[in-house]
Amino acid sequence: MADVLSVGVNLEAFAQAISAIQALRSSVSRVFDCLKDGMRNKETLEGREKAFIAHFQDNLHSVNRDLNELERLSNLVGKPSENHPLHNSGLLSLDPVQDKTPLYSQLLQAYKWSNKLQYHAGLASGLLNQQSLKRSANQMGVSAKRRPKAQPTTLVLPPQYVDDVISRIDRMFPEMSIHLSRPNGTSAMLLVTLGKVLKVIVVMRSLFIDRTIVKGYNESVYAEDGKLDIWSKSNYQVFQKVTDHATTALLHYQLPQMPDVVVRSFMVSGLRSRVAHGDLSSLPVSAGSSEGGPQWARASAWDTGQRRADAFF
Amino acid sequence: MGVTCVSQMPVAEGKSVQQTVELLTRKLEMLGAEKQGTFCVDCETYHTAASTLGSQGQAGKLMYVMHNSEYPLSCFALFENGPCLIADTNFDVLMVKLKGFFQSAKASKIETRGTRYQYCDFLVKVGTVTMGPSARGISVEVEYGPCVVASDCWNLLLEFLQSFLGSHTPGAPAVFGNRHDAVYGPADTMAQYMELFNKIRKQQQVPVAGIR
């Protein structure tokens, strides 16, 4: 640092020059003070004038002296070096603190990363678009034959087709009964009863599952007006949890091209496996643990069930 | 309603009934259970009247008429090991009219009262069983709401019971074994209470000190 500055500037002289400037400024302000104050009261007019002029002269002399001193010092300070086009302010860029921070290399690294990320994201999206969801691969062979060839818009399917799909699923499993009703227009609502364990209300839009609610076997699924109550949740924490899981599964496995596959997988893996594999006694435990329960709330067996269900997909 | 297990908690050594109940409820509260008011189950015993007995040559049967605060509009009439009738509360009035056939046993009224606790999906009722003026024991009822088949959730109930009853955890109630896959109902709970009351009746009377 010292050698950089010594090129153009004598620091000692610089400090003296600054104090000389201060002295000059104060002497100048004294001159103006003297002018402002005007003549002092004396016996005679001549005496007054003389005293004022003498005072004024003194002040001017001191200004002169200070100015000469400043000039002398400014020669000592020396010329700023010609290397920097910005003169001394150019030295600011030589602040060594910046040299110590690895800013540049970090920036470079970040840039490389973001480039790489973009590249991989592009690759991934290409792959994902090719085989939209892996789980349907196993069932594709079966379902492809049954599915009508052309499905221009899957949202507008004839109700008979929906009925057909549902009744086929209904017939597949003896312990699962599905009751289909259309209380509000053409959208089907399913009441699925699984053994003596739980009831599921599934609200469909065409063949898309819109909403699902899981309730206990002994809970009422009908509202006061006798229609299916699709809004209120279960009174039991276990089934609230199960509803959450079912909804998650529902949102996760959406497959617009093949809605019937989604419905079937949902019924088979999502619901039936709850009874077939993850028998009920494993369910409530997890609800306990979600509550931060005490020692009897062991690791959530429900999650294992969930994983097993996922393996289905 | 879900599957319910009714059991008896023995009075801790050197403690009164009241103290043992407090010990239990404190354990429950530490577990995180929420207090939800009180409950009451009572039971009255009726004999078959002597006049009807002789003519049919049957042994006298006891009938128990019970009420449960969980079902405030119902009245339960049970025979031991027999059928259970669930009727409206007016049934009590009817029993008065049936004096010729069923006679109320003197001082046979037994009841349990206590606090109702909710813990997640579990309902726990700890009550003091009293007969006349004396406290006879402690009843612990645990209900698991979401399930309706006893065999499906007995293990879970057992695990929960162990968490606060410790070594006094009961075995599976007899009503569970009766019907393997059937839906559990309120009558099954009342049958368990009836058994509990009968068991307590036969026991020696504990010191009156425990009454509250």
Report CB contact under 8 Å: B163, A287.
no
What does DSSP say about strands A189-194 and B122-131: parallel, antiparallel, or unpaired? Answer: unpaired
Q: Are B120 and A237 in contact (CB < 8 Å)?
A: yes
Give the lowest-confidence range in A125-139, A174-188, A283-297, B170-184: A283-297
Give the mean model confidence (pLDDT) for residues A82-87.
64
Which member of B31, B145, B162 has the closest CB to residue A236?
A: B145
Q: CA triplet A110, A113, A115: central angle to 5 degrees?
A: 110
How many C-beta atoms lie closer than 10 Å to residue B176's C-beta?
20
What is the percent of chain B where pLDDT is above 90?
A: 35
**DSSP string covering chain B:** --EEEEEEEPPPTT--HHHHHHHHHHHHHHHTPEEEEEEEEEEEEEEEPHHHHHHHT----EEEEEEETTSTTEEEEEETTS-EEEEETTHHHHHHHGGGTEEEPTT--EEEEEEEEEETTEEEEEEEEEETTEEEEEEEEEEETT--BHHHHHHHHHHHHHHHHGGG-----HHHHHSSSPBP-HHHHHHHHHHHHHHHHHSPPPPGGG--
**Residue from A237, A243, A280, A283 to probe the interface with B (highest B Cβ count within 10 Å):** A280
Q: How many CA atoms lie within 13 A of A252 on its CB side?
A: 15
CB contact under 8 A, B32 and A291: yes
Query: Which residues fall within 8 angstroms of residue A5, CB to CB, at 6 or more apart?
Result: A11, A91
User: Which amino acid belongs to residue B115?
Assistant: T
What ipTM, to 2 d.p.? 0.79
Distance from CA of A296 to the nearest CA of B (A): 7
Q: Do B145 and A235 lie within an 8 Å CB cutoff? A: yes
List the single residue in B144, B163, B183 with the smallest CB-CB distance to A295: B163
pLDDT of residue B163: 84
Among B29, B159, B176, the strongest candidate for a mutation testing the A interface, having the largest count of A CBs within 10 A, is B159
Three-state secondary structure call for residue A203: strand
Q: Is the pLDDT of residue A150 over 50?
A: no
- In total, the C-beta contacts within 8 angstroms joining chain A to chain B are 62
Tell me the domain boundaries of chain A: 11-40+48-76, 159-276
**Predicted confidence (pLDDT) at residue A296 exceeds the cutoff of 50:** no
B147 and chain A: CB distance < 8 Å anywhere? Answer: yes
Residue A190's H or E segment, with its range, is strand A189-194
- Disruptive mutation site among B118, B148, B154, B169 for chain A (greatest number of A CBs within 10 Å): B148
B120 lies within 8 A of chain A by CB? yes
CB distance from B31 to chain A under 8 Å? Answer: yes
Closest-CA distance of chain B to residue A102, Å: 54
Q: What percent of chain B has pLDDT over 70?
A: 89
Minimal Cα–Cα distance from A249 to chain B, Å? 22
How large a percentage of chain A has pLDDT more than 70? 67
* Nearest residue to A228 via CA among A162, A272, A180, A166: A180
Q: In Å, how far is B155's CA from the nearest CA of chain A?
A: 7
Q: In angstroms, rounded to a whole number, what is the distance separating the alpha carbons of residues A137 and A142?
A: 10
Q: Which residues contact B141 (CB under 8 A, 6 or more apart)?
A: B4, B5, B6, B7, B123, B124, B125, B126, B127, B189, B193
In whole angstroms, how far apart are CA A296 and each of A289, A304, B122, B155, B165?
A: 8, 17, 13, 11, 13
Average pLDDT over residues A2-22: 72
In chain A, % of residues over pLDDT 90:
15
CA–CA min distance B146, chain A (Å): 5
Contact B3, B184 (CB under 8 A): yes
Region B51-78: mean pLDDT is: 80
Q: Measured between CB atoms, which of A196, A217, A284 is closest to B121?
A: A284
B43 has a pLDDT exceeding 70 = yes
> How many angstroms separate the CA atoms of A287 and A297, rounded?
8
Nearest CA in chain A to B156: A281
Chain A within 8 Å of B172 (Cβ-Cβ)? no
Chain B residues within an 8 Å CB radius of A197: 147, 149, 152
Which residue among A217, A238, A285 places its CB closest to the CB of B148?
Answer: A217
Strands B84-88, B3-9: pairing kind = unpaired
Residue A278 has pLDDT above 60, yes or no: no
Chain B CB contacts of A239 under 8 Å are 146
* Confidence label for A86 from pLDDT (cuts 50, 70 and 90): low
Q: In terms of CATH architecture, what is B1-50+60-202?
A: Beta Barrel (2.40)
Of residues B180 and A294, more confidently modeled: B180
pLDDT surpassing 90 at residue B99: no
Residues A267-271: contacts with CB under 8 Å, at least 24 apart: A267/A169, A267/A173, A267/A176, A267/A178, A267/A192, A268/A169, A268/A172, A268/A173, A268/A312, A269/A309, A269/A310, A269/A312, A269/A313, A270/A246, A270/A309, A271/A176, A271/A192, A271/A194, A271/A200, A271/A246
- A262 band by pLDDT with thresholds 50, 70 and 90: confident
Closest CA of chain A from B92, distance in Å = 29
Angstrom distance (rounded) from CA A28 to CA A133 = 87
Domain boundaries, given as residue ranges, for chain B: 1-50+60-202
Residues of chain A in contact with residue B186, where contact means CB-CB under 8 angstroms, are: none
* Sign of the torsion angle spanned by Cα atoms A253, A259, A264, A267: positive
Contact A280 B153 (CB under 8 A): yes
Task: Please check whether residue A130 touches B, CB under 8 A.
Answer: no
Classify B68 in phi/psi space as left (phi over 0), alpha (psi -120 to 50) or beta. beta
B152·A279 Cβ contact <8 A = yes
B189: chain A residues, CB-CB within 8 Å: none
The three-state secondary structure class of A228 is strand
pTM: 0.61
Phi, psi of B149 (to 5 degrees): -110, 120
The answer to whether B147 contacts A235, with C-beta atoms less than 8 Å apart, is no
Max mean pLDDT range (A78-92, A156-170, B111-125, B195-209): B111-125
* A80–B contact, CB cutoff 8 A: no
Beta carbons within 8 Å of B180's beta carbon, 6+ residues apart: B151
Between B150 and A135, the more confident residue is B150
Q: Which residues of B touch A288 (CB under 8 A)?
A: 120
